[in-house]
């Protein structure tokens, strides 16, 4: 069945816009980018590592991995774009589905034929194998995204049978209705359901046009409320008002919640968890009865997404695990959209406060903003606070923190893997008034020079590169290249002035990083550039350098 002309126009306009903005070669990549952006709002930070579409991609257009303490979620995307509304009656055929199933078989069998010239595919494959070796439970989610009619009947039979034979694999179709829904241009899917109250632990209140009820609910009935028909996935549409929180925080899992729910002390869950908040059009139950069932109509879960996902994971681990788990539920019923919105905003705001937001008005960041402004830069203490300015003149506080951590503190591994600490434990160490702003601007410009090379390399080569191409280390190793530049410049006893040329020092840094990191072909760059040991390897290469390059740097001054 073809989609409506209006829906096609909406999706096509968004795809065209994102393709132009991100300089994507095809609309198929634009559709893929749009899907990734809707499902994983923070994916842009890892876009160059996520998208695998290109030569030797094995039918896989993107791989997004969310790694937790004991588990990992591997999302495998295949995207197809139909160029006109007339062709949207087409379907995803058998061969496309078979490519994905064969790819997964090669993953499970550790077939080294997967390590092709496609950089991103090879790196993601190596990372998955490394996760397996750590003994983590991996779950694989195949997402077919397109603006057509979806899987053909035979293709759906193939992938459905494959998933039945591999319980760790699930699939879904992310099509026109999902795009429109998540772009917030169409009404959400109406969801109704029931919750089982424990005993008489229920309290109701009414104030004019809003009603509220607080109840202790059997966790298993809550799982039934939010779980899909397959019993393995959560209904994403019931989290529309909380979508970004649900999909953004480590896949929604929390090891502490899972541990409590599955332990011998699971009866403490009610006391240790903040519970779930639901808005709906109406709720009803038999008052005065023991163990009443609450019926809720047209509901949305506006807070408690992490708890929801974690409870489902606990249920997957053991169906009997939730027998003694009781969850506190708050339900608010109103026809007024403004009240429902205020409840959603209030509850989600409490959950979404980030350390960066708490630090945004610190005196040191305000002073840095003024100092950068005097040199023509717009320092963003808050994310996108200078969105209307030229991208080349904006300095993001998080990125600057990573630059400082790499260049001054010599911690590129932490810049890569521990960025959450920049506005937490590392804040005072990173942001202080001891920097010479003129030099800091030049260090930032050096980082931007490396980043521009990185973006240009991906733009020119896509996902494909020769095995011996040194510049392939730009894709994952930009922080270690900046770190090596800092070592070279410091050893040359040279100051970063406006006359200093970045090109030669960056090329030498790339060469040293490739010598240090290119020896083990089976270890993923993801792992290499998160390890502090990589610094030792670079220092070893640097210690054996002849002095002629440093003489060249001094002469450049």
Residue 455 and residue 551 in one domain: yes
| Domain that includes residue 425, residue range | 357-556
Distance, CA of 135 to chain centre? 22
Domain boundary among 138, 154, 182: 182
Specify the DSSP class assigned to residue 26.
S
State the average pLDDT over residues 365-391: 89
Alpha-carbon span 439 to 394, nearest angstrom: 17
- Using DSSP bridges, classify how beta strands 394-396 and 293-297 pair: parallel, antiparallel or unpaired: unpaired
Predicted confidence at residue 243, as pLDDT, reads 40
Domain boundary among 313, 330, 352: 352
Residue 131 and residue 205 in one domain: no
pLDDT at 464 over 60: no
Considering only CA atoms, which of 108, 100, 221 is closest in space to residue 162? 100
Residue 471 lies in a domain: yes
pLDDT at 278 over 90: yes
Considering only CA atoms, which of 353, 231, 270, 253 is closest in space to residue 306? 253
Query: Cβ(532)–Cβ(482) under 8 Å?
Result: no
Predicted confidence at residue 246, as pLDDT, reads 41
Predicted confidence at residue 242, as pLDDT, reads 63
Query: Cβ(37)–Cβ(18) under 8 Å?
Result: yes
Residue 188 lies in a domain: no
Residue 371 and residue 348 in one domain: no
Alpha-carbon span 8 to 431, nearest angstrom: 48
Alpha-carbon span 269 to 83, nearest angstrom: 51
Query: Cβ(23)–Cβ(459) under 8 Å?
Result: yes
Residue 120 and residue 55 in one domain: yes
- CATH code of the domain covering residue 21: 3.40.91
Q: What is the largest CA-CA distance in the chain?
A: 88
Query: Cβ(300)–Cβ(279) under 8 Å?
Result: yes
Residue 268 and residue 285 in one domain: yes
Residue 57 and residue 96 in one domain: yes
- Identify the sign of the CA torsion 366, 367, 371, 374: positive
- Residue 40, SS3? coil
Predicted confidence at residue 223, as pLDDT, reads 93
- Taking only the tens place, the pLDDT of each residue in 173-221 is 999 888 887 775 444 568 899 999 999 999 999 988 889 999 999 999 9
pLDDT at 403 over 70: yes
Residue 462 and residue 396 in one domain: yes
Alpha-carbon span 470 to 513, nearest angstrom: 9
- 157, 197, 275, 461 from 327: Cα distances, Å: 38, 10, 6, 52
Query: Cβ(375)–Cβ(440) under 8 Å?
Result: no
Residue 187 lies in a domain: no
Alpha-carbon span 412 to 426, nearest angstrom: 14
Residue 176 and residue 233 in one domain: no
CA 400-403-408 angle, to 5 degrees, is 120
Residue 313 lies in a domain: yes
Residue 392 and residue 538 in one domain: yes
Alpha-carbon span 532 to 66, nearest angstrom: 22
Query: How sure is the predictor about 551, in pLDDT bands with cuts at 50, 70 and 90?
Result: low
Query: How sure is the predictor about 528, in pLDDT bands with cuts at 50, 70 and 90?
Result: confident
Residue 227 and residue 135 in one domain: no
Alpha-carbon span 41 to 540, nearest angstrom: 39
Give Rg (Cα) of the chain: 26
Considering only CA atoms, which of 267, 272, 266, 334 is closest in space to residue 298? 334
The CA-to-CA distance between both ends of the chain, in Å, stands at 68
Considering only CA atoms, which of 241, 146, 228, 227 is closest in space to residue 187? 241
Residue 113 and residue 199 in one domain: no
Predicted confidence at residue 120, as pLDDT, reads 87
pLDDT at 35 over 70: yes
Full-model pTM: 0.59
Residue 367 and residue 464 in one domain: yes
Considering only CA atoms, which of 222, 395, 218, 363 is closest in space to residue 304? 222
Which residues lie below 8 Å from residue 515, measured CB to CB, with a gap of 6+?
Answer: 541
Considering only CA atoms, which of 227, 35, 286 is closest in space to residue 146? 35
Query: How sure is the predictor about 350, in pLDDT bands with cuts at 50, 70 and 90?
Result: very low
Give the count of domains, the chain.
3
Domain boundary among 300, 334, 352: 352
Q: Which of the two residues, 350 and 537, has the higher pLDDT score?
A: 537
* φ/ψ bin of 376: left (φ > 0), alpha (ψ from -120 to 50), beta (otherwise): left
State the average pLDDT over residues 351-362: 68
């Amino acid at each position: 069945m073809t989609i409506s002309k209006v829906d096609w126009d909406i999706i096509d306009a968004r795809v065209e816009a994102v393709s132009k903005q991100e300089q994507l070669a095809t609309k198929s990549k634009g559709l893929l980018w749009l899907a990734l952006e809707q499902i994983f709002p923070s994916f842009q930070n890892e876009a160059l590592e996520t998208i695998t579409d290109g030569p030797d991609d094995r039918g896989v257009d993107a791989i997004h991995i969310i790694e937790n303490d004991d588990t990992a979620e591997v999302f495998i995307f295949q995207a197809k774009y139909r160029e006109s509304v007339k062709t949207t009656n087409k379907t995803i055929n058998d061969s496309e589905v078979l490519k994905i199933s064969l790819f997964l078989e090669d993953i499970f069998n550790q077939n080294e034929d997967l390590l092709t010239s496609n950089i991103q595919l090879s790196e993601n494959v190596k990372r998955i194998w490394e996760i397996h070796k750590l003994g983590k439970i991996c779950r694989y989610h195949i997402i077919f995204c397109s603006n057509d009619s979806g899987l053909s009947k035979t293709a759906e039979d193939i992938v459905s049978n494959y998933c039945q034979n591999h319980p760790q694999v699930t699939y879904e179709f992310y099509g026109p209705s999902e795009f429109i829904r998540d772009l917030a241009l169409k009404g959400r899917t109406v969801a109704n359901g029931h919750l089982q109250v424990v005993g008489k632990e229920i309290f109701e209140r009414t104030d004019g046009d809003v009603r509220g009820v607080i109840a202790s609910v059997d966790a298993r009935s809550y799982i039934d409320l939010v779980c899909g028909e397959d019993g393995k996935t959560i209904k994403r549409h019931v989290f529309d008002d909380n979508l970004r929180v649900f999909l953004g925080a480590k896949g929604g899992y929390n090891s502490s919640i899972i541990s409590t729910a599955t332990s011998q002390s699971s009866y403490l869950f009610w006391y240790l968890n903040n519970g779930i908040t639901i808005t709906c059009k109406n709720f009803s139950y038999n008052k005065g009865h023991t163990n009443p069932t609450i019926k809720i109509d047209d509901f949305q879960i506006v807070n408690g997404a992490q708890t929801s996902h974690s409870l489902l994971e606990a249920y997957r681990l053991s169906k009997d695990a939730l027998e003694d788990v009781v969850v506190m539920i708050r339900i608010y019923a109103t026809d007024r959209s403004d009240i429902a919105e205020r409840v959603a905003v209030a509850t989600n705001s409490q959950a979404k406060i980030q350390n960066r937001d708490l630090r945004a008005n610190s005196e040191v960041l305000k002073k840095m903003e003024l100092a950068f402004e005097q040199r023509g830069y717009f320092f963003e203490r808050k994310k996108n606070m200078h969105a209307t300015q030229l991208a080349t003149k904006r300095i993001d506080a998080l990125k600057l923190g990573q630059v400082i951590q790499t260049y001054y503190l010599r911690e590129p591994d932490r810049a890569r893997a521990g960025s959450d600490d920049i506005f937490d434990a590392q804040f005072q160490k990173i942001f202080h008034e001891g920097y010479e702003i003129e030099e800091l601007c030049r260090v930032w410009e050096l980082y931007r020079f490396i980043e521009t090379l990185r973006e240009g390399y991906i733009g020119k080569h896509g996902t494909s590169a020769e095995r011996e191409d040194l510049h392939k280390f730009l894709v994952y190793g930009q922080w270690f290249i900046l770190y090596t530049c800092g070592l070279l410049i410091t050893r040359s006893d040279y100051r970063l002035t406006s006359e200093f040329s970045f090109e030669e020092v960056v090329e030498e840094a790339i060469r040293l990083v490739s010598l240090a990191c290119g020896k083990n072909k089976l270890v993923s760059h993801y792992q290499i550039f998160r390890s502090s040991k990589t610094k030792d390897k670079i220092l070893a290469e640097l210690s054996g350098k002849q002095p002629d390059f440093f003489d060249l740097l001094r002469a450049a001054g």
